[in-house]
């Protein structure tokens, strides 16, 4: 008997449904002693095991599916490895639908700010398109996308929902989020529901400036780098 200590959160392939399932994550992260490192680079190699009830929802989970755990200040991404799904421990030997415990083996991955919902902790939320609806929203696109502003310069950012390659209607509330950048280094102004402006008053490289773009059909955190003059 194990207490569930987290929740699996993932999108259906159609993009129409968000699934939630309580799970139990093993306490130990394995493989971290095998990290390849140098003075400047560490390649992640952590692995975890996750247990959940096997049911109609979790039967939609396939190899290579990504999940994120943690919190809005520090998300950690994991991906199911090839052969990492154990869904065949049958309670009745001859009944292939009698397995009730799902075991997932995952390895550490990278958080994707473009396609992950970093507010609600749902990996790849903006990757999938809802079928059968021309107005389905599957991504939040911010232009320009690199988020780099040179010292003494300004940038205006446009934010829109997209369905495939087409813009969908919807506005956002823009706020500076979880900010570690001193206010004297930048100016932030909301122009309208789809546009905001940032002025780089001085180079600051310790942390990026995070802008939360929050809308009724999804949210995204956008990182802006306050660079030097070149």
Residues 67 and 146 placed together within one structural domain of the fold? no
Same domain, 11 and 87: yes
Whether 64 shows a pLDDT value over 70: the answer reads yes
Give me the CATH number covering residue 185.
2.60.40.1080
pLDDT for res 141? 86
Q: Kindly state whether residues 95 and 157 are assigned to the same domain.
A: no
Mean pLDDT over 71-89 rounds to 92
pLDDT category at 130 given cuts 50, 70, 90 is very low
Residues 159 and 97 in one domain: no
What pTM value is reported for the model?
0.57
Residue 131 within any structural domain of the chain: no
**CA 85, chain centre distance (Å):** 22
d(CA 73, CA 71): 5
Per residue in 158-196, pLDDT (tens digit) is: 999 887 677 888 899 999 987 789 999 999 999 999 999
Residue 45 has phi, psi (to 5 degrees) of -150, 25
Question: Is residue 186 in some structural domain?
Answer: yes
More confident: 134 or 191 = 191
Give the contacts of 56 (CB within 8 A, at least 6 positions apart).
none
User: Considering 108, 131, 159, which residue would you say is the last residue of a domain?
Assistant: 108
Predicted pLDDT at 131: 38
Kindly state the percentage of the chain with pLDDT values over 90.
Answer: 53
- Are residue 56 and residue 146 in the same domain, yes or no? no
Based on the fold, state whether residues 185 and 100 are members of the same structural domain.
no
Mean pLDDT along residues 75-88? 93
**pLDDT tens sequence across 197-226:** 999 999 998 888 989 888 887 778 888 999
- Of the pLDDT bands very low, low, confident and very high (cuts 50, 70, 90), residue 36 is low
User: In the listed set 91, 108, 125, which residue is the last one of a domain according to the structure?
Assistant: 108
Return the higher-pLDDT residue of 142 and 186.
186
Count of domains in the chain? Answer: 2
Rounded CA separation 194/173 (Å): 8
Range of the domain at 212: 139-226
Query: What is the predicted pLDDT for the residue at 194?
Result: 96
pLDDT at 94 over 60: yes
pLDDT of residue 124: 85
Both tokens of 20, joined, read 């939630």
In a domain, 37, yes or no: yes
């Amino acid at each position: 008997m194990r207490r569930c200590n987290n929740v699996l959160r993932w999108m259906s392939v159609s993009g129409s449904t968000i699934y939630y399932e309580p799970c139990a994550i093993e306490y130990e992260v394995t493989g971290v002693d095998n990290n390849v490192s140098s003075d400047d680079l560490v390649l992640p190699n952590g692995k975890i095991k996750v247990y959940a009830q096997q049911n109609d929802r979790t039967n939609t989970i396939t190899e290579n599916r990504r999940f994120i755990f943690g919190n809005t200040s520090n998300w950690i991404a994991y991906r199911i490895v090839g052969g990492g799904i154990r869904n065949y421990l049958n309670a009745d030997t001859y009944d292939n639908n009698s397995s009730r415990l799902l075991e997932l083996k995952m390895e550490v991955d990278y958080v994707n700010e473009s396609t992950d919902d970093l507010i609600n902790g749902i990996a790849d939320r903006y990757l999938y398109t809802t079928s059968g609806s021309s107005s389905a929203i599957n991504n939040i696109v911010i232009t320009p996308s690199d988020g780099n502003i040179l010292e003494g310069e300004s940038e205006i950012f446009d934010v829109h929902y997209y369905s495939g390659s087409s813009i969908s209607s919807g506005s956002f509330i823009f706020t500076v989020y979880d900010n570690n950048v001193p206010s004297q280094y930048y100016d932030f102004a909301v122009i309208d529901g789809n546009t905001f402006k940032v002025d780089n008053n001085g180079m600051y490289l310790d942390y990026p400036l995070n802008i939360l773009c929050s809308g009724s059909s999804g949210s995204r955190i956008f990182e802006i780098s306050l660079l030097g003059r070149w």
